[in-house]
Amino acid sequence: MYTRRNFSLRDMLLWTRHDILAFLIIATLPVVLYENLEMRWLHLPWLPIALVGTAVAFIIGFQNNASYGRTWEARKIWGGITNASRSWAMTVRDFVTNQFTDNPVSEAELQTIHRELVHRHVAWLTALRYAMRQPRTWEDFLSKKSNREWWEAIGVREQTMPIHDEIKAFMPEAECSLLAAKANLPAQILAIQSKRLRELRERGLIEDFRHMELQGMLTNLIDLQGRSERIKNFPYPRQYATLNKYFLWIFVVLLPFGVMHEFSKIGEDIVAEFPTMGPSFVWLSIPFTVIVCWVFHTMERIGRVTENPFEGSANDVPISSMSRGMEIDMRQILDEDPASIPEPIGPIHDTLM
């Protein structure tokens, strides 16, 4: 999925509101103990906390760079699928002809064959996007309440509609029955496509060179599918992801013990000029601590929701709308009846699926 507009500060605060509440509690408790119960010993030197914060910043930066790289690679792969799909429709239309056959078929039958090959390709796109949306054990997007709220409001198409209900619109019932017992549906659909090309070659509707070109296109699709599966099935290394989270929360818990003492010293320095504000200045450490924790935690959380580009978050590659766009392009290349061609998938709450 992909947001069409900027992620505003309001959206960000709403998305992280539960985290902000936790930071507020973590920041307030030490100050209450320090100020109200007069536990003046309850503080830590700032230097080691700053060193931990520096290390956390480097780790989060590394995670975000790696996560963005995974998302960008996924987007390039699906961009390649888009180009290959359009090429497939044009090549099928112009290569499957009566030019080299001894037993020509009618123009209506040729159009039926073109439509069959293109619609089967749409079935492959459908099966591939369903495969990419299947959850993995390391994908934790729905573990956050705010993520679940968004997910339920938007509705991920692949999680609400059975795959076979969508595929059967593009493939014969006999072929759909064959797929029922298969594990990797996209690969099996390409295998059926390859078998069909061989049959057309035997009938002379495709000569050797054109058959090789079409087979080469199927090989390219297999390669693109494998690259997409690699992104899906090999996660961001879990040792980095786990340690990032632990190191971040160590920093978040330690931070108020250093910040409040620094604000307390500032209050002591200004008490002569501001006798009312000085003794209470330590309480200003609470919003400062919350802001710093929020910045670090939100950066880390952005990296986590970006590392799996097919998981179902607002920052995913919009493979559902991309697949629909490819379907529309290919069916229009075949000059199908406009009334039979579906509409593009529009954004829901400014988000493309």
Q: Give the pLDDT score at 160.
A: 78
What Cα–Cα distance (Å) separates residue 292 from each residue in 106, 250, 255, 346? 72, 14, 9, 37
User: pLDDT tens digits for 35-72?
Assistant: 888 888 888 998 999 999 999 999 999 999 999 999 99
Percent of the chain with pLDDT over 90: 62
Residue 74's CB is within 10 A of a number of other CB atoms, namely: 22
CA distance 16 to 21: 9
pLDDT given for residue 340 in this prediction? 93
Residue 6's pLDDT is: 58
34 near 258, Cβ under 8 Å? no
Whole-Å CA distances, 99 to 162, 205, 212, 259, 261: 41, 7, 16, 81, 86
pLDDT at 32: 94
Task: Please give the Cα distance from 271 to 277 (Å, whole number).
Answer: 7
216 Cβ contact partners less than 8 Å away, ≥ 6 residues apart:
none
Per cent of the chain over pLDDT 70 is 98
pLDDT at 255: 95
Cα(212)–Cα(223) distance, integer angstroms? 16
Distance CA 311, CA 8 (A): 22
- Tell whether the model's pLDDT for residue 4 goes beyond 60: no
Q: Give pLDDT, residue 68.
A: 92
**Residue-level pLDDT at 2:** 42
| 132 vs 158, higher pLDDT | 132
Distance of alpha carbon 131 from alpha carbon 225, whole angstroms: 10
Tell me how far apart the alpha carbons of residues 167 and 34 are, in angstroms, rounded to a whole number: 64
pLDDT value at position 28? 96
Tokens of 298: 């939100």
Whole-number Å distance between alpha carbons of 63 and 299: 10
SS3 state of residue 181: coil
80, 82, 191, 186: which is closest to 132 by C-alpha? Answer: 186
Higher pLDDT, 220 or 162: 220
How far apart CA 239 and CA 83 sit, in angstroms, is: 36
> Is 73 within 8 Å of 265 (Cβ atoms)?
no
pLDDT tens column, 270-283: 877 887 787 788 89
Q: Does the structure show a pLDDT above 60 at 194?
A: yes
Predicted pLDDT of residue 73:
96
Domains of the chain: total: 1
User: Among 179-183, 232-236, 340-344, whose mean pLDDT is lowest?
Assistant: 179-183
Averaged confidence pLDDT in the chain: 89
Range of the domain at 305: 2-352
pLDDT classification of 7: cutoffs 50, 70, 90: low
Radius of gyration of the chain (CA): 28
pTM for this one? Answer: 0.89
Pick the more confident residue, 268 or 212.
Answer: 212
- Read off the pLDDT of each residue in 71-98 and give the average, rounded to a whole number: 96
pLDDT of residue 3: 44
- The pLDDT of 312-319, averaged and rounded, is 84
Q: Report residue 268's pLDDT band, with 50, 70 and 90 as the boundaries.
A: confident
Per-residue model confidence (pLDDT) at position 19: 92
